[in-house]
Amino acid sequence: MTRIYLVVLAGGQSLRARRGDSSAPKQFREIGGQMLCLVSLRELAQAPGVAHAVLVVPAAWRPLVAQAVADAALPVPCTLADAGCHRTASAWHALQHLAELPADQRPESADLVAIHDAARPFASCHLLARLARAAARHGAAVPGVPLPDTVVQLAATDTEASERAVAAYLERGLLVAVQTPQVCRWRELYAAHAWAAAGDRSFTDDGGLLASQGLSPAVVMGEESNWKITTEDDWRRAEDLLQR
Tell me the residue ranges of DSSP E strands in the chain: 4-9, 30-31, 34-35, 50-57, 78-82, 112-117, 140-146, 152-154, 166-169, 176-178, 182-185, 218-221
Tell whether pTM > 0.75: yes
Distance separating alpha carbons of residues 186 and 180, to the nearest angstrom: 17
DSSP state at residue 92: H
Distance separating alpha carbons of residues 149 and 156, to the nearest angstrom: 22
Q: Map out the domains of the chain with their CATH numbers.
A: 4-243 (3.90.550.10)
pLDDT in tens, the chain (244 residues): 789 999 999 997 654 544 555 468 899 999 988 999 999 999 999 999 999 999 999 999 999 999 999 999 999 999 999 999 999 999 999 999 999 999 999 999 999 999 999 999 999 999 999 999 999 999 999 999 999 999 999 998 766 777 889 999 999 999 999 999 999 999 999 999 999 999 999 999 999 999 999 999 999 999 999 999 999 999 999 999 988 7
Say what the alpha-carbon torsion angle 24, 26, 27, 30 is, to the nearest 10 degrees.
80
- CA–CA–CA angle 82, 194, 100 (5° rounding): 50
Distance separating alpha carbons of residues 136 and 222, to the nearest angstrom: 17
Half-sphere exposure of 232 (CA within 13 A, CB side): 6
φ, ψ of residue 202 to 5 degrees: the values are -125, 135
